[in-house]
């Protein structure tokens, strides 16, 4: 168990140090902002939606390692998905981190298993899901800032 925990921590630290798809996406046609006032995490999601499919997904912001790692992993997993698939993956991930051990993670989200430890810390669930809530807002073309209070 200790080896697995160390591997998970290393994956989180790697995504925090070198976030994938970080930065403004100049040709985005959807954006959304998110803010977690409890710990100060902020994120902006840039999404290129074409024919109902997520063609590109970037983010920028600042926050804790959990928040940045979750956003980074999300950008890799959501590209190529339809709006319905992206929404379903969000719901699966949210239920997994906010739920109990009986909730299973969708098979496309296996890489996010590294964030399972946040279940024990409800305040950290908000860190892990901030970018995801913001991505859903971008998909729905909502202009208000997503706030996790």
In the chain, what are the domains?
Answer: 2-144 (3.90.1010.10)
pTM for this predicted structure: 0.93
**Helices marked H in the chain — which ranges?**
2-17, 65-78, 83-98, 122-139
Query: What pLDDT, on a 0 to 100 scale, did the predictor assign at position 8?
Result: 77
Overall size of the chain counted in residues: 149
Average pLDDT over residues 16-29: 97
Chain segment 74-114, per-residue pLDDT in tens: 999 999 999 999 999 999 999 999 886 667 788 888 888 88
The Cβ of residue 52 has, within 10 Å, a number of other Cβ atoms equal to 10
Burial class (CB in 10 A: 0-12, 13-18, 19+), 147: middle
Half-sphere exposure for 86 (CA within 13 Å, toward CB): 28
Average pLDDT over residues 120-139: 94
């Amino acid at each position: 168990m200790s080896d697995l925990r160390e591997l998970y921590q290393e994956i989180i630290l790697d995504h925090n140090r070198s976030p994938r798809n970080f930065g403004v996406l100049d040709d985005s046609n959807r954006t959304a902002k998110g803010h977690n006032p409890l710990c100060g995490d902020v994120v902006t999601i840039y999404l290129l939606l074409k024919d109902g499919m997520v063609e590109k997904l970037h983010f920028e912001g600042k926050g804790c390692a959990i928040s940045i790692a979750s956003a980074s992993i999300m950008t890799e997993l959501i590209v190529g998905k339809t709006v319905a698939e992206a929404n379903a993956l969000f719901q699966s991930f949210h239920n997994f981190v906010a739920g109990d051990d009986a909730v299973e993670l969708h098979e496309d989200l296996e890489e996010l298993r590294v964030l399972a430890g946040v279940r024990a810390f409800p305040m950290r669930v908000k860190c892990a899901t901030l970018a995801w809530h913001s991505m859903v807002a971008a998909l729905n073309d909502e202009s208000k800032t997503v706030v996790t209070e």
